[in-house]
Chains A and B, each alone.
Chain A
Amino acid sequence: MWKNYLKVSFRNLQKRKLYTGINLLGLTIAVVSFLAICLYIHHEWSYDKMYSGYDRIYRLNQEFRSEGQAELVSSTPSSLIPTLIDEVPEVENGTLIFDISIFSTVMVDNGEGNQEEKAFAYADENFFKVFDFNLLAGNASQVLAEPNQVVLTKSTAERYFGTANGVAGKALKIDNRDYVVSGVMEDFPSNSHINFDFLASFKTHRHGKDPEWSPSNYYTYVKLKPESDPQVFEGKLEQIVDKYLGKDLAEYGYETAFFIQPVTQIHLGDQSLGSIKPGTDIRYLYIFGIVAILLIAIGVINYVNLATAEATERNKEVGLRKAMGAGRSQLFGQFVSESMLLTLASTVLSILALYLIAPKFTSISGVPLNMALIISPLGLILMAGFIALIGVLAGIYPSLILSGMEPIKALANKTKMGGGAWVRKSLVVFQFFVSIGLLISTFVVKSQLDYMQGVNLGYEKEHLVSLSYHYNMREGIETIKNEMLRSGAATSISRAADMPIHVKAGYRVFPGGDNSREFMITGYSVDTHILKTIDLELIAGSQFSENDPKRSDLEEGTERFPVILNETAVKEMGWTAEEAVGKTINLGFNSNSEIKGVVKDFYFNSLHYQVSPMVIFNDPDQSNVLLIKLPEGNPTEHLATLEGIWKELVPERPFNPVFVDQAYEKMYSSEKQASVIFGIFSGIAIFIACMGLFGLVSYVALRRTREISIRKVLGATQENVIKVLAADFMKLLALAAVLATGFGIWFSNKWLQDFTYKTNISIWPFVISISLVFILAIVTIAYRSWKVYSLNPAKTLKSD
């Protein structure tokens, strides 16, 4: 029986090439997108499950509380893990990682010159016991046990030594310290939140030898004993705080607490905590999942629409089979097997296509497509289930329609398809609703992105280059600055703690001086040239002068050192900009600071957040970068000049200029990724929907060939004919457009509510999306009508 079903199905599909082609292509594209998204989501969900006992591994996060404000961070003190291992019985083991890339890079030398490396971290001797990554060389309990040991990943070893074999025991100079390569490990898997090229023994580090309760710079992980209750463990953390930390912090007005976070929840958890590797916002996964299902739905709807539209042609076959004794379930089986066959074919094609697009997908999403997952036993079972589900979903409605026809009417071709028409119409509306909705969403995401890239930030990021330098270069940095200015390749240079795009140092204003309020404030350490270099607008007072005392002079306690505030900070204290100048405030230093000037607010953080109070310090020694304003002209040439000076003065340090505007764009990479992905998927959705429309119009045109021919004979022009055919579909599209507009308004509010500074959504995304889809639909219909119109009426009418 099944053999017969399949045979008939196959011949049917073969016979109707247009129909099969549209369905196959539509479904295949939908399935490819679906599978790609599934693999992506699976990858994101699979994070940090490769360690044995992963469900007992937790990262400790630390909360700082003060004056009703709380900040949770993922870094903790170096004393925490040794204390926990010693004193808390629930702890089976634990490890500490110190990711130095937060602060600076390292220089690695294997005897052939320095290379700058970013993915360098210290880890303590328990690292490989908690995270049992595979070591290709070296013993897990020894590789990080002694000072000056370093473990390389396989590809790092190959990069430095040409091979991963026999590397253990070789010497490597890192930041002028001699290390011994103690082990080689497999590269970190892409779905581990830990990812480094170098792991040095924490014993090499000062705090590795003498752990302390401050600063909180280290990631701490614990593995609890199998029977222990995490809640109980978390309770014991309070006792640790009371015992070791409470008093000291209370002096500064802080309270602290530690919380546990399962290691598997780091990647998709709260992104503001910070992590070794940037995580993924789980909402994106939900959105992508929904989009995947919508795409499949559009593909399935194509099938349903075409199959029911086409049912008229199969009346005869159904009637016959019934007359020969086919039961409803047998007919049902036949039509469902046809849709299954199609789904199977498109799934096979999709898997092949997926192999082709895998590299492209990886480069867009940054996630490797694990094709092995698809051909694994579980993958195949799921795939079979998927084919069955989609096959049944696609086949069920047409089958019901077809198998339910009365044989006499079916044979006489008298069955009216009126019953199925409203279903078909609603499905078309749904398809175009999704297409237009996705398109509007794309435009909304894109316009916010454009807004963020084009908004006036309050400083000038064009032609601005940031050049990081090492702390121990601070003695000679003024010489470098002066040489660069003299060369003419820089118009202004300021030392600064960081690029103005993200300034993070947290300070606090205490009551004192002329101010009575207390609040958090961001501090920005710079030198006297900052206003000119990044074009900050001074609205009151004056900027720093060379004679002003620096913060580093403060320890003498003799002089008030001047600060510049932003408007928000001044407002927070209840002053106007003019009033503020000359007043003194208490920043918790030995003496109060005097407000020398007030600058207009500028965005020193992501536009997701409100501009907060800021204090600008004249404090060049706390700076890590040179902000260099390039003159007009070719930036590459200017940079070459600057590099020449750099190489001459500090040949051992890398010259790594970063354009501030590019770094700024990078901050919004996840938004950018979302906009690209939305763009791709809405394109796909529109394509599939238009193909379905093409198929439907084809059938309608075919059925109305006679009518169109008569109209032509009576003198109808081509436009008239297109209008006749288009009228019905245009009504459906109009309804879809109305629904999509509603969705679009909802979506844009939802999306933009995450941004404090947002674009005003104009009418254009809606107008453009709707017109685009209408134009495509009209072209589709026009093409089809033209084909029918161009038939010779003499022939079409005669054959009737």
Chain B
Amino acid sequence: MIQLKEIDKFIESRFQRVFILKGINLTINEGEFVTLMGPSGAGKSTLLNILGLLDEDYAGEYWFGEKNITKMRDRDRSALHKSEFGYIFQAYHLIDELTVYENIETPLLYRKVSSNERKSIIADLLDRFNMVAKKDLFPAQLSGGQQQLVGIARAIAGRPRILLADEPTGNLHSAQAQEIMEVFQELHKEGTTIIQATHARENADYGTRLIQMLDGKIDQDEVITHV
């Protein structure tokens, strides 16, 4: 489904190129649950951003199915971005001025989903995450775990095939983190491809594949077997 060929990402400084990613070759198949791990600065977030079409400033080829993303027109790329990807952030990144309901609704608005359909999708999501009573609250009125649940609901509202999560549990305590990972597992079972970046080894156990990164390169790539 996704194939990266010789991806380089670097910053030109005055005397040298500083590589953030170097020579990344990676294939991700539909239905995988991939965990990116590695120390800070290893390039996890950068790789995730490139995968999620948020960063276009790199060298190499990015194939999405049969399409070469690197050669795509802006308009097609943003259409693809809209239809295929959902994002979850470490810092939740909810819009402070919008209620829970409206935050979840936003991506649907950008996808021009009709009003009735929006209502039913959001109602399902609120139900699923037990947030029906909180739908009119603003992010500031929620706990961190609840905010991240809204973040997930928002990310999957548009029914993306691929879910990208950058340190989704980084700001949460362990009980909340566990709850989030169980949600991921469930989504994975329903067929969503998930790619997460994390520091926590235990999170990787929910996935099917673990990629260890070091200094902008893939260090290890292993399959996680569930007992």
Contacts and interface: CB of A to CB of B under 8 A. Distances in A.
B49 A317 contact: no
B54 A324 contact: no
B95 A325 contact: no
A4 B54 contact: no
Contacts of A15: 97
Contact of A324 (B55, B97, B102, B154): B154
A8 B97 contact: yes
Contacts of B106: 4, 321, 324, 326
B93 A327 contact: no
Interface in A382-434: 407-408, 411
A12 interface: yes
* Most B-side CB within 10 Å, residue of A12, A320, A321, A411: A320
A323 B95 contact: no
Interface string B100-138: 001001110111100000000000000000000000000
A326 B110 contact: yes
B82 interface: yes
* Most B-side CB within 10 Å, residue of A4, A12, A324, A330: A324
Contacts of B109: 1, 4
A7 B87 contact: no
A446 interface: no
Nearest to B155: A324
B93 A320 contact: yes
B107 A325 contact: yes
B87 A324 contact: yes
A59 interface: no
Interface string A476-500: 0000000000000000000000000
A330 B110 contact: yes
A411 B111 contact: no
Interface string B186-213: 0000000000000000000000000000
A56 interface: no
Nearest to B151: A320
* Most B-side CB within 10 Å, residue of A4, A12, A317, A408: A408
A11 interface: yes
B81 A325 contact: yes
A316 interface: yes
Contacts of B49: 408
Given A325-B107, A408-B55, A317 B95 contact: yes
Interface in A672-716: none
Contacts of B55: 408
Nearest to B82: A325
B145 interface: no
A4 B81 contact: no
Contacts of B38: none
Contacts of B20: none
Interface in B48-107: 49, 52, 54-55, 78, 81-82, 87, 89, 93-98, 102, 105-107
A4 B78 contact: no
Contacts of B102: 4, 7-8
Interface size class of B (residues with CB under 8 A): 20 to 34
A408 to B, nearest CB: 5
A320 B98 CA distance: 13
A407 B54 contact: yes
Contact of B78 (A8, A11, A327, A408): A327
Contacts of A12: 97
Nearest to A322: B54
Contact of B110 (A11, A317, A325, A407): A325
B216 interface: no
A323 B78 contact: no
B158 interface: yes
B54 A323 contact: yes
Contacts of A320: 93-95
Contacts of A8: 95, 97-98, 102
B116 to A, nearest CB: 15
Interface string B134-170: 0000000000000000000010001000000000000
Contacts of B82: 325
Contacts of A326: 106, 110
Contacts of B93: 316, 319-320, 323, 411
Given A11-B97, A316-B93, A408-B49, A325 B158 contact: yes
Contacts of B54: 322-323, 407-408
Interface of B: 49, 52, 54-55, 78, 81-82, 87, 89, 93-98, 102, 105-107, 109-112, 154, 158
20 contacts: A1-B109, A1-B112, A4-B105, A4-B109, A8-B102, A15-B97, A317-B95, A319-B93, A321-B95, A321-B106, A321-B110, A322-B54, A323-B87, A323-B89, A323-B93, A324-B107, A325-B78, A325-B111, A326-B110, A411-B93
